[in-house]
Chain A
Amino acid sequence: MKFILLLSILDAAAAFTSPFRPTTTIITTTKQQHPNHDHRLYSTYDTDYSETTLIDIDEEAPRDIPSMEAWSYEMGAQRTDGFALTTDDGGYNVYAMTNVDLPTGSPILTIPEHMILSSNKAMAELRTSDMSEAEKIVKSVNAESEFRHYYLMLKLLVEYEKGMESPWYQWMNSLPRYYTNAASMTPFCCLCLPSLMRKLTVQERGYLQRLGVSSIKMVPYLNEDTKYDVDLCTWVYQIVYTRSFETADGDLKIVPLADVSVMHVR
């Protein structure tokens, strides 16, 4: 079943064409080492996919950017010549730049729909009849407004459990594990913030607590290890809340490769 799903996505990738770039760039890669020197252009490096089945979510785990790039182009993502991912700090922060002049209105990236994670698709797939107990908990803490985020979190947890069989494995393995935002702060950190920041931090940590632990324990299709892994729940929360953007139709979308870079100051 999983294999068929992956094949169908790859078929869709093959069928996808961009209006500005008729051929897909595919990067052949060899094993990646965590970069240890400054300002490195990932796009010129090669890598093999990791041998690890589940993604290492330790805060110090390296981000596998080359595999994600290779995966994205194999899946049908297309980029303009000169688009590159780079880092100034040994790989913790990775961001897009251009190596060529780009006039106004130049296409930079195209990402096919089948690569995009969305709350609508996540809810269609995962909002099953046996989710009522979990949803009750979300509602009981007045977090109904966060249902779209919640189901995106569940989608990421489901994909995480698939390990390398997930179509989004390479993308998830390229994401940062270390964050410096409100949800990542300790209670003592909150005490050192001025009023507005403290209020925002309490609000963000509140979302995390309401969505990230209690209700996920009630999700029937997740493994027990997943349900009780607070670090994992926090990680997917961070991914959803920093990388999803609302579109005009009210859907929340995460677009691999075209998502946020986010500067994680260390």
Chain B
Amino acid sequence: MFNHGAYPEVESSYDEEGNYYAYTTYDVPAGSPLRMSYGDPTNPSFLFARYGFLDESTEATFCKIIPEHINKDMEELGYAHNRMLFYKDGNVSEEVWDILLFQHVSSTKIGDKRALMEAHRSGDYATKQMLHEKYYENTSAMLLEHLESFLEQLEKLSSKAGERQRDLGDHPRLPLILAHNEFVKQTFLAVRMQNFGY
């Protein structure tokens, strides 16, 4: 009965007969928990949905940018729940900036969209960086708008949950949901502080 750990102490294997073996992955001092990995530690939403716990030790969480349509170019740029990350220290993963840039140039400058994809495919970091600087004002505005609207949405959701806290007998998981929403909120606030100073 191993708990989940982002840096698990335990790994497992099977022999040819199908017998199971668990081993330590590093030196484990006495008094320590023995943990295994249940899944991607940068995807706490999946861990919560599947296993029912909030992994507050995680360094990052999915940024919650969910476009209506995700095309192959976006996947190539790194659109995935475990790569589009907001970090608890306020940093934003490169993939988030790339997707914001892609969304912007897709609707305004098709030529720069092609340049972005070619630079990405060829590993032309300098060109990508130039495009990011050229459109920073637009992409940072998109990021701020997403942060503000999501924080507002979170506030409404948590208020809704909070109003029914007295009905814990009917909805005993509400406190955990509130904790989850608060965890996401704090990460979003850290990103806003890091990137916009408030």
Residues of A within 8 A of B (CB): 16, 82-83, 85, 94-113, 116, 118, 179-182, 184-186, 188-189, 191-197, 200-201, 203-204, 241-242, 247, 253, 255, 257-266
- Given A194-B150, A195-B64, A196-B45, A110 and B19 contact (CB-CB distance below 8 Å): yes
Known contacts A96-B1, A104-B27, A194-B184; 12 additional CB pairs below 8 A are A16-B19, A95-B34, A97-B31, A102-B9, A106-B23, A185-B177, A194-B181, A195-B153, A262-B4, A262-B51, A262-B53, A263-B51
Q: Name the distance in Å between B8's Cβ and chain A's nearest Cβ.
A: 11
Q: Mark B79-104, 1 if CB is under 8 A from A, else 0.
A: 00100000000000000000000000
Partner of B49, one of A188, A200, A253, A266: A200
Residue of A105, A184, A197 touching B180 (CB-CB under 8 A):
A197
B46 near A200: Cβ-Cβ < 8 Å: yes
What is the CA–CA distance of A195 and B45 in the complex, to the nearest angstrom?
A: 10
> In the complex the two chains form, is B24's CB within 8 Å of A182's CB?
no
Contacts of B14 in A (CB 8 A): 247
Task: Supply 22 A–B pairs (Cβ within 8 Å), ascending by A.
Answer: A16-B19, A95-B2, A96-B34, A101-B28, A102-B9, A102-B28, A107-B22, A110-B22, A111-B20, A113-B18, A113-B19, A179-B52, A182-B48, A188-B171, A194-B153, A196-B81, A258-B1, A258-B20, A259-B2, A261-B1, A263-B53, A265-B179
- Nearest CB of A to B31, in Å: 7
Any A CB within 8 A of the CB of B72? no
Q: Is the CB of B24 within 8 A of A264?
A: no
Point out the residue from A97, A109, A181, A204 that lies within 8 Å of B20, measured CB to CB: A109
Determine the chain B residues whose CB is within 8 A of the CB of A197 once the complex forms.
45, 48-49, 180
With a CB–CB cut-off of 8 A, which chain A residues contact B27? 101-104
Interface readout for B31-64 with A: 1 if CB under 8 Å, 0 if not?
1111110100000011011111110000000101
Residue in B26, B51, B64, B179 whose beta carbon sits within 8 Å of that of A260 in the complex: B51
Digitize B156-195: 1 where CB-to-A-CB distance is under 8 Å, 0 elsewhere. Answer: 0110110010000011111111111100100000000000
Judging by beta carbons under 8 Å apart, are A258 and B157 in contact? no
Assess A192 versus B177: contact at CB under 8 Å? Given A82-B30, A260-B2.
Answer: yes
Cα A263 to Cα B180 with chains together (Å): 14
Q: B-side binding surface: helix, strand, loop or mixed? A: mixed
Selected contact of B66 from candidates A107, A195, A264, CB within 8 Å: A195
The interface residues of chain A lying within 8 Å CB-to-CB of B129 are none
* CB closest residue in chain B, given A247: B14
A16 to B20, CA, bound (A): 12
B154 within 8 A of A: yes
Which chain A residues lie closer than 8 Å to B33 at the CB level? 95-97
A186 touches B51 (CB 8 A): no
Contacts of B173 in A (CB 8 A): 180, 184-186, 189
> Do the beta carbons of A188 and B30 come within 8 Å of each other?
no
* Size of B's binding interface in residues, CB under 8 A: 63
> For residue B172, which residues in chain A have a CB less than 8 angstroms away from its CB?
266
- B49 / chain A contacts, CB cutoff of 8 Å: 181-182, 197, 200-201, 203-204
> Which of B1, B32, B160, B170 contacts A257, CB < 8 Å?
B1
Cα–Cα, bound, A59→B52 (Å)? 15
Q: Is B198 an interface residue (CB 8 A)?
A: no
Alpha-carbon distance between A197 and B157 when the two chains are bound, in angstroms? 12
Report chain A residues within 8 Å CB of B153. 194-195
Given the interface pairs A107-B21, A260-B4, the reply to whether A83 lies near B34 with Cβ below 8 Å is: yes
- Nearest A residue to B179 via CB reads A265
**Chain A residues near B32 (CB-CB < 8 A):** 97-98
- Shortest B48–chain A CB gap in Å is 7
A262 to B153, CA, bound (A): 29
Docked-complex contact B180 and A108, CB < 8 angstroms = no
Residues of A within 8 A of B45 (CB): 196-197, 200
Report the separation of the CA atoms of residues A265 and B3 in the bound assembly, to the nearest whole angstrom. 13
Interchain nearest-CB distance for A173 vs B (Å): 14
Please name all residues of chain B whose beta carbon is closer than 8 Å to the beta carbon of A192 when the two chains form the complex. Answer: 157-158, 160-161, 174, 177-178, 181
Contacts of A181 in B (CB 8 A): 48-52
Roughly how many angstroms separate A260 CA and B171 CA in the complex, as a whole number? 25
* Candidate in B2, B20, B36, B53 with the most chain A CB atoms within 10 angstroms: B20
